[in-house]
Amino acid sequence: AQSVTQLGSHVSVSEGALVLLRCNYSSSVPPYLFWYVQYPNQGLQLLLKYTSAATLVKGINGFEAEFKKSETSFHLTKPSAHMRDAAEYFCAVSDRGYSTLTFGKGTMLLVSP
């Protein structure tokens, strides 16, 4: 079974600083990878996904992620954090042959003024 590990349950940045949220996956075959964001008391919203096309994927709200097969990583970045980026972020991988998602434990992003 495929799995996802998110390093750091909490990440704190200052407004305007670089955001880096880490995600590593384990898979015996090329996976499909996703990043979702969850704001308080809301469901998950898709930020971006990797489906074996371009390795650098651009998403909504200025986020992007790079698939690195050699490092089995799919880290999420944003050049400059905004207060509105404060939320919980989940990395996920598709397995089971359907589009069922296996999620990481999540990383809470805290943005200070």
Question: By CB under 8 A, is residue 76 in contact with other proteins?
Answer: no
Phi, psi of 69 (to 5 degrees): -65, -40
Q: Which is nearer to other proteins, 11 or 92 (CB)?
A: 92
Q: How far is the CB of 86 from other proteins (least distance, A)?
A: 18
- Tally of CB atoms within 10 A around 62: 15
Question: By CB under 8 A, is residue 98 in contact with other proteins?
Answer: yes
28, 70, 99, 113: which one binds other proteins (CB under 8 A): 99
Question: By CB under 8 A, is residue 22 in contact with other proteins?
Answer: no
Q: How far apart are CA 34 and CA 74, in angstroms?
A: 9
- Tally of CB atoms within 10 A around 7: 15
Q: How far apart are CA 84 and CA 18, in angstroms?
A: 14
Question: By CB under 8 A, is residue 41 in contact with other proteins?
Answer: yes
Question: By CB under 8 A, is residue 32 in contact with other proteins?
Answer: yes
Question: By CB under 8 A, is residue 113 in contact with other proteins?
Answer: no
